[in-house]
C-alpha cells in the first residue's frame, strides 16, 4: 500500500538552535532552570535537516539572533500560502522580537509580508488542509486573527478550540498527512471542534494521548514520508498501516521548550 502514497517536494525554512535555551516559562512544558544540552539540541536539529534533504526537500535557513532562544521554532513565525506571507504577533511579549528577523528574511526573498493586527502564531495554529485553513484558538492565536487570515488569503478558515494546556498550539494536537486526511488527538479539542473534525475528515488517524505527549502529532508529512518523534510508536504503526512511511527523528531536547519537529519547520508554499 505504501507505494500508492506519493511524496511532494517541499520547501522548508528553519533556524539553527545556536541560542536555544529555556530562560522563561510560557507553556506547561517549560520550566525555568532546566538545563538544555545545546550540543545535543544542535545535533538533533541537524539530523532533522539532513532527513529532509535526504528525502528530496529544500531547506533554507534564517540566521539565529542572540537573545531569542525560541527562534528555532520557525513554524510560529508565519503562514506562507500561495506565495503570500501572513506574519506573527506572538502572545508572549518575550517572543515578539522574533517577528523582525523572519519578516526581514521573507522580504529579502521577495515576499510581501502582512503583519497581523491580532495575536497570531503562524503555523503553530494555522494549518492548511486541502480546501481549508484549520485554525486553533484557546491559548495563543485569537479568533480575531482567524478572520484576519481568511480576509488575507481568501481561503475558508475553520476555527478549532483547544482545551488542554499541554496542547497549546494546534500543531501539537493535529497534523496534515495529505490533501485529504489528518491525524489528531480528539481530547485536545472542545466537543464542537471534535464534531467539526469528524465531519471534515471522517477517515482521519486518531492518535492516543501517550503518542501526543511524545510530540507525535508535531510531525511533518510530504504525503508519503512522515517525519515523526520516535516516541510515538503506536501512531507510527497506525500510519504505516495506512501506507505512510514513518521517518523517526529525535528532537527530544526541544521538548523541554514545548516544541518538536513541526515547531522547527516553516513550510514555504509558493
**What CATH number is given to the structural domain containing 131?**
3.75.10.10
Q: What is the mean pLDDT of each run of 10 residues along the chain (270 residues)?
A: 84 97 79 86 98 98 97 98 98 96 98 97 98 97 98 98 97 97 98 98 98 98 98 98 98 96 97
Q: Which three cell numbers stand for residue 222?
A: 510530504
Nearest Cα neighbor of 92 from 161, 159, 23 is 23
Q: What is the pLDDT of residue 137?
A: 98
Give the C-alpha distances (Å, rounded to integers) separating 43 from 40, 76, 210, 235, 250: 5, 22, 25, 25, 10
Q: What is the pLDDT of residue 31?
A: 80
Q: Catalytic residue among 91, 120, 225, 263, which?
A: 263
Rounded to 5 degrees, φ, ψ at 192 are -65, -40
The tally of domains found in the chain comes to 1
263 has catalytic annotation: yes
Q: Which three cell numbers stand for residue 209?
A: 494521548
91 has catalytic annotation: no
Q: What is the pLDDT of residue 67?
A: 96
Range of the domain at 220: 2-267
Residue 158: how many CB atoms within 10 A of its CB?
A: 17
Q: Catalytic residue among 57, 169, 225, 255, which?
A: 169
Amino acid at each position: 500500500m505504501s507505494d500508492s502514497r506519493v511524496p511532494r517536494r517541499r520547501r522548508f525554512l528553519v533556524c539553527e538552535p545556536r541560542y536555544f535555551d529555556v530562560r522563561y516559562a510560557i507553556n506547561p512544558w517549560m520550566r525555568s532552570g532546566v538545563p538544555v544540552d545545546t550540543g545535543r539540541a544542535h545535533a538533533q536539529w541537524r539530523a532533522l535537516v539532513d532527513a529532509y534533504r535526504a528525502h528530496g526537500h529544500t531547506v533554507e535557513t534564517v540566521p539565529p539572533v542572540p537573545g531569542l532562544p525560541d527562534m528555532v521554532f520557525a513554524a510560529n513565525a508565519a503562514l506562507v500560502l500561495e506565495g503570500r506571507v501572513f506574519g506573527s504577533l506572538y502572545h508572549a511579549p518575550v517572543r515578539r522580537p522574533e517577528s523582525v528577523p523572519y519578516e526581514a528574511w521573507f522580504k529579502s526573498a521577495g515576499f510581501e509580508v502582512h503583519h497581523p493586527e491580532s495575536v497570531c502564531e503562524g503555523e503553530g495554529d494555522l494549518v492548511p488542509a486541502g480546501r481549508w485553513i484549520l485554525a486553533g484558538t484557546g491559548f495563543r492565536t485569537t479568533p480575531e486573527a482567524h478572520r484576519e487570515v481568511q480576509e488575507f488569503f481568501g481561503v475558508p478558515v475553520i476555527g478549532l478550540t483547544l482545551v488542554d494546556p499541554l496542547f497549546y498550539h494546534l500543531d501539537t494536537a493535529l497534523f496534515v498527512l495529505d490533501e485529504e486526511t489528518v491525524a489528531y488527538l480528539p481530547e485536545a479539542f472542545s466537543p464542537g471542534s471534535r464534531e467539526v473534525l469528524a465531519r471534515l475528515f471522517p477517515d482521519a488517524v486518531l492518535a492516543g494521548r501517550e503518542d501526543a505527549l511524545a510530540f507525535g502529532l508535531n510531525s511533518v508529512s510530504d504525503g508519503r514520508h512522515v517525519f515523526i518523534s520516535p516516541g510515538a510508536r503506536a501512531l507510527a504503526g497506525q500510519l504505516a498501516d495506512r501506507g505512510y512511511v514513518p521517518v523517526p527523528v529525535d528532537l527530544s531536547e526541544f521538548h523541554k521548550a514545548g516544541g518538536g519537529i513541526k515547531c522547527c519547520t516553516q513550510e514555504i508554499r509558493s
